[in-house]
């Protein structure tokens, strides 16, 4: 048995973040093993997105420590998190509308060719590799030179996911990755999560589609008003228990009854 | 690179939805450049027909010589506006560098040193304004409006309102007056700046981030780019471009006046906007800016050659700005889904 430090890909402890009078995160912890898929759930405003942005370097916490593979890290910008191979699909997708598909996929790590020491964009390589990535992920986009503003919501979301998944991440955070997707596309994203976690990538999945969690997650962590309230192994819980934990009281949700009608009696 | 197996098809849509682009699609996608190109051609044809002297080599060379400062600063301003910023201080920086270079030459400083000092001054002014905009998050309009006032005031204070002559025998005046290979030196300087600006805007990561910041600054930041430095740097570029323009102007006129470049910033912004760069950021084109600046210059020149009142120039320029942008909105819309 390895020591505790080595078995965790991510250990966040005592993370606090305050925006004005609102304590968005209050002493939150999060642990993640290599190859594990963690579902992070909670009501709107529970702090899921803020917690994941702390891990991706987009939000700097007031206190708390982050360890990646046993080493304490301090992310002062998203560039630091990227260097530690933490990638995130943001809820708002974080795409530049007036930049083309290849430009968005490679944003911040464009292949360069130096002429007289000046870095120029290696456009041919960028478009060729983009084509390969899109094909590998099964994303259908006719032309990698199309500007992102001309794409459909599903295609835009696919690009955001492809960007995070394609550059050899060790931790992949997905904040509502399936919000704009059709049924078949949601299945493809769930397949993608299974495929990357089988390769050892740790995944944090934030979603309101609770049934998806039960298809791909190993564990579910529930947040309520900026705090951790529960953690359940997927085999030890049920959708109605998760619903009750999310809303913070005993509650018979119709959505829960619809999927497991016989168990939902109070 | 490492997603070895991921079946399914994300973002599935029926294939062949996008057809191969025709020249018409290309024209619509680049609508802003096409519309200003049409205006440029129309203006040139009109002046060629109503005057005999417009379409002559000396006159055309004269136009590019006189418009060199506008072209140089407009190229830099394209970067600033594409980040959804604005730099109102370029006219004042031009006046300050024009007067200071005359003052320093009078004090006996060798001309190469004067040029370097002025470039450094322009960069420093740009860096100071850029610091307040990028790091302190004060709106660019306010910072550079303050800059416009303060920098012009410094130039007036130094000269007491008088213009300072430059010794005509100094090599310095060649920057504005000499010809090289049959082309005026200011025009050559402008050409060099424009080529560099075009390459930087379209072919470098820096240009890509400038466009990205205008479209979605937070997305570029989350992609690990130091967006604040990029924003600071575009104001260094506009400051330096304004100082080059000031040097050229002082050399051409043989004097440095603290009243030079009154309203210059508005001509520059007009040229950039006329060229199709969006004031909201995210969309910019150096080619359009060149056409926009040349259109402004040709109108001024042509009206004088046609023996019409030079006071018509601002009226015609302003009308064309409105009509060109209107055409761009009406005729060429449909290139994008929204907006």
Per-residue DSSP letters for B30-57?
A: THHHHHHHHHHHHHHHHHHHH-SSTTSH
Residue B23 lies in a domain: no
Element (H, E) at B122: helix B111-130
Which of chain B's residues have a Cβ under 8 Å away from the Cβ of A138?
Answer: 6-10, 12
Q: How far is CA B208 from CA A144, B116, B199, B204, B214, in A?
A: 16, 29, 11, 6, 10
Least confident piece of the model among A99-113, B55-69, B252-266, B309-323: B309-323
CB contact under 8 A, A58 and B219: no
Which of chain A's residues have a Cβ under 8 Å away from the Cβ of B17?
Answer: 142
Residue B8 lies in a domain: no
Query: Cα–Cα distance between B175 and B172 in angstroms, integer?
Result: 6
Size of interface A-B (CB pairs under 8 A): 163
- Contact at 8 Å (CB) between B105 and B251? no
Residue A123 tokens, joined: 């456009």
- What 8-state DSSP symbol labels residue A253? -
Residue B122 tokens, joined: 């322009």
Please check the confidence at residue B281 and state whether its pLDDT lies above 50: yes
Considering only CA atoms, give the Rg of chain B: 22
Q: A61 phi and psi, to 5 degrees?
A: -75, 155
Distance from CA of B312 to the nearest CA of A (A): 37
Q: How far is CA B196 from CA A218, B44, B118, B282, in A?
A: 54, 26, 20, 20
B214 CB near a chain A CB, below 8 Å? yes
- Contact at 8 Å (CB) between B63 and B180? no
CB contact under 8 A, B336 and A166: no
CB contact under 8 A, B221 and A77: yes
pLDDT one-digit tens code per residue, B4-24: 444 444 444 444 445 555 666
Strands (E) located in chain A: 10-19, 22-32, 37-42, 63-68, 71-73, 86-89, 112-115, 118-121, 171-175, 202-206, 219-224, 227-233
Please check the confidence at residue B337 and state whether its pLDDT lies above 50: no
Please check the confidence at residue B70 and state whether its pLDDT lies above 80: yes
Residue A82 tokens, joined: 């990227």
Which of chain B's residues have a Cβ under 8 Å away from the Cβ of A174?
Answer: none
Q: Which of B3, B10, B197, B199 should be substituted to probe chain A, the one whose Cβ sees the most A Cβ atoms within 10 Å?
A: B10
Residue B234, classed as helix, strand or coil, is helix
Interface of B with A in 271-310 (CB under 8 A): 282-283
List the beta bridge partners of residue A227: A224
pLDDT, residue B331, reads 63
Query: Cα–Cα distance between A35 and A33 in angstroms, integer?
Result: 6
Residue B26 lies in a domain: no
Q: How far is CA B153 from CA B121, B294, B298, in A?
A: 16, 30, 31
Interface of B with A in 163-202 (CB under 8 A): 199
CB contact under 8 A, A158 and B215: no
ipTM of the complex model:
0.83
How far from the centroid of its chain's Cα atoms is residue B53's Cα?
28
Tell me how many degrees the CA angle B159-B163-B166 measures, rounded to the nearest 5: 110
List the one residue out of B102, B93, B124 whose CA is nearest residue B244: B93
**Which residue in chain B has the smallest CA separation from A91?**
B219
Interface of B with A in 1-40 (CB under 8 A): 1-13, 15-18
pLDDT one-digit tens code per residue, B85-113: 999 999 999 999 999 999 999 888 899 99
- Contact at 8 Å (CB) between B246 and B93? yes
For B303, the domain range is 32-330
In CATH terms, the fold of domain A4-95+169-263 is Rossmann fold (3.40.50)
A147: CB partners within 8 A, 6+ apart: A97, A98, A99, A100, A101, B336
Residue B12 lies in a domain: no
Q: A204 phi and psi, to 5 degrees?
A: -110, 120
CB contact under 8 A, B212 and A103: yes
Residue B5 lies in a domain: no
pLDDT one-digit tens code per residue, B15-55: 444 555 566 666 656 677 888 888 899 989 999 999 888 88
CB contact under 8 A, B208 and A143: no
The domain that holds B60 is classified in CATH as 1.10.3470
Residue B188 lies in a domain: yes
Please check the confidence at residue A263 and state whether its pLDDT lies above 50: no
Which of chain B's residues have a Cβ under 8 Å away from the Cβ of A191?
Answer: 6-8
- Contact at 8 Å (CB) between B135 and B232? yes
Q: B309 phi and psi, to 5 degrees?
A: -60, 130
CB contact under 8 A, B203 and A121: yes
Residue A153, classed as helix, strand or coil, is helix
Edge-to-edge strand list for the sheet holding A10-19? A22-32, A10-19, A63-68, A71-73
Element (H, E) at B66: helix B57-82
pLDDT average, residue stretch A41-56: 90
Which of chain A's residues have a Cβ under 8 Å away from the Cβ of B230?
Answer: none
Number of domains in chain B: 1
pLDDT, residue B13, reads 44
Query: Cα–Cα distance between A91 and A85 in angstroms, integer?
Result: 19
Query: Cα–Cα distance between A243 and A120 in angstroms, integer?
Result: 52
Least confident piece of the model among A21-35, B125-139, B203-217, B305-319: B305-319
**Which residue in chain A has the smallest CA separation from B16?**
A142
Distance from CA of B234 to the nearest CA of A (A): 17
List the beta bridge partners of residue A16: A63
């Amino acid at each position: 048995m390895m020591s505790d430090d080595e078995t965790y890909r991510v250990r966040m402890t005592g993370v606090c973040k305050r925006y004005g009078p609102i304590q968005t995160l209050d002493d939150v912890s999060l642990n993640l093993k290599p190859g594990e898929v963690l579902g992070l759930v909670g009501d709107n405003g529970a702090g899921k997105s803020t917690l994941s942005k702390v891990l991706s370097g987009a939000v700097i916490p007031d206190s708390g420590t982050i360890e990646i593979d046993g080493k304490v890290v301090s992310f002062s910008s998203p560039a630091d998190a990227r260097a530690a191979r933490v990638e995130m699909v943001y809820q708002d997708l974080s795409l530049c509308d007036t930049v083309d598909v290849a430009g968005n996929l490679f944003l911040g790590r464009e292949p360069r060719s130096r002429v007289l020491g000046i870095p120029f964009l290696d456009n041919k390589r960028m478009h060729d590799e983009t084509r390969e990535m899109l094909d590998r992920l099964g994303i259908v986009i006719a032309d990698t030179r199309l500007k992102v503003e001309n794409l459909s919501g599903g295609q835009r979301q696919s690009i955001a996911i492809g960007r995070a998944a394609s550059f050899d991440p060790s931790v992949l955070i997905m904040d509502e990755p399936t919000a704009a997707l059709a049924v078949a596309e949601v299945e493809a994203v769930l397949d993608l999560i299974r495929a990357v976690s089988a390769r050892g990538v740790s995944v944090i999945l934030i979603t309101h589609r609770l049934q998806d969690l039960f298809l791909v997650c190993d564990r579910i962590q529930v947040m309520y008003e900026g705090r951790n309230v529960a953690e359940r192994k997927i085999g030890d819980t049920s959708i109605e228990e998760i619903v009750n934990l999310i809303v913070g009281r005993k509650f018979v949700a119709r959505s829960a009854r619809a999927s497991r009608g016989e168990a939902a009696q109070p | 690179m490492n997603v070895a197996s991921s079946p399914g098809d994300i973002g599935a849509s029926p294939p062949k939805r996008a057809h191969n682009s025709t020249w018409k699609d290309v024209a619509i996608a680049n609508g802003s450049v096409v519309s200003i190109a049409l205006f440029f051609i129309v203006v040139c044809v009109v002046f060629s027909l109503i005057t005999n002297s417009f379409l002559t080599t000396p006159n055309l060379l004269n136009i590019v010589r006189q418009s060199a400062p506008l072209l140089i600063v407009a190229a830099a301003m394209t970067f600033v506006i594409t980040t959804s910023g604005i730099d109102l201080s370029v006219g004042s920086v031009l006046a300050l560098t024009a007067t200071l270079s005359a003052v320093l030459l009078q004090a006996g400083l060798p001309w190469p040193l004067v040029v370097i000092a002025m470039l450094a001054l322009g960069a420093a002014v740009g860096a100071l304004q850029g610091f307040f905009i990028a790091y302190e998050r004060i709106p660019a309009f306010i910072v550079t409006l303050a800059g416009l006032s303060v920098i012009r005031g410094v130039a007036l204070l130094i000269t007491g309102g008088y213009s300072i002559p430059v010794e005509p025998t100094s090599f310095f005046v060649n920057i504005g007056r000499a010809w090289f290979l049959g082309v005026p030196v200011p025009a050559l300087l402008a050409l060099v700046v424009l080529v560099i600006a075009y390459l930087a805007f379209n072919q470098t990561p820096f240009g890509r981030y400038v466009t990205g910041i205008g479209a979605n600054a937070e997305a570029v930041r989350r992609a690990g780019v130091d967006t604040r430095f990029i924003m600071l740097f575009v104001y260094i570029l506009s400051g330096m471009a304004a100082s080059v323009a000031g040097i050229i102007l002082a050399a051409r006129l043989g004097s440095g006046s603290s009243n030079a470049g009154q309203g210059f910033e508005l001509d520059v912004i007009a040229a950039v906007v006329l060229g199709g760069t969006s004031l909201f950021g995210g969309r910019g084109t150096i080619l359009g800016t060149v056409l926009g600046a040349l259109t402004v210059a040709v109108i001024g020149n042509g009206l004088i050659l046609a023996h019409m009142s030079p006071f018509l120039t601002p009226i015609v320029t302003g009308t064309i700005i409105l009509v060109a942008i209107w055409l761009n909105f009406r005729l060429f819309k449909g290139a994008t889904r929204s907006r």
